[in-house]
Structure 1
Amino acid sequence: MDSLDYHRIITEILQEYAQIPYAHRSLERRLIIGEDHKSYALFTVGQLNNKQVHGCVLHLEIIGDKVWIHQDGLEDGIADELLNAGIPQDKIVLGFHHPDLRPYTGFAIG
């Protein structure tokens, strides 16, 4: 599986998340895909209780032959969805874990 397959899988999954409406109609999700199709971010933006909301829910990046998960704010996490979509476990790096902990996750270490 190459980075074009990774791009297709990641884009499809994140587009589904971007379409889920918030209970607070003043908030929305924004999906950002880098021009090189190797960087992905899903943000929550809007106004809530008269305050600006701007937060990164997900940040993924294709580095070499691996998908790095830098930020994962989903309730159940994105890693299992990537696995179910066909990305091998040894090609997914849980980058939000310290490098010393990665060998114990069952995923790639880097």
Structure 2
Amino acid sequence: METLSYRQVIQDLLQARAMNHSEDGVEVELIFDRERDRYLVMLVGWHNQRREYSSLIHIDIKDSKIWVQSDGTETGIANELVKAGIPKQDIVLGYKSPFKRQFTEYAIN
């Protein structure tokens, strides 16, 4: 799959994730930097008088591979990428140490 298709798959998945996430007082912000291939889902607001400001999902495209930099989902965004047709060898779990990546089913780098 070419990089342009990867961009569209990522954007579609993150938009669907944002629409399905609801929490009173907390906004879901989609941040797409298409020029630099950085894609984020942020949670911003207040929940039970506590400030919520975190990255739910952060994905980069680097060297024609999808780097999952942060994943705060239960199902795992990498699993959703695979279901969408992205080969595991094109997905890097960037939030895991380089040593531990060799023990996953995904790319090392």
Sequence identity percentage? 36
**Deviation above 4 Å: which 4+ runs of structure 1?**
none
1:26 aligns with 2:25: yes
User: Residue in 1 aligned with 2:79?
Assistant: 80
Using the alignment, how far apart are the partners of 2:87 and 2:48 within structure 1?
A: 42
- How much has 1:37 moved relative to structure 2? 5.7
Using the alignment, how far apart are the partners of 2:27 and 2:92 within structure 1?
A: 28
Cα deviations by residue, 1:15-66 (Å, 9 ceiling, x for unpaired): 00111242x3211211100041610010111112223211111000000110
| Root-mean-square deviation (Å) | 1.2
User: Residue in 2 aligned with 1:96?
Assistant: 95
SS of 2:56's equivalent? strand
- How much has 1:109 moved relative to structure 2? 0.3
* TM-score after normalising by structure 2: 0.94
> Are 1:7 and 1:37, in contact at CA under 8 Å, matched by a contact in 2?
no
Report the AA paired with residue 42 of structure 1. V
* TM-score after normalising by structure 1: 0.93
Unaligned runs of 5+ in 2: none
Q: How many residues align?
A: 109
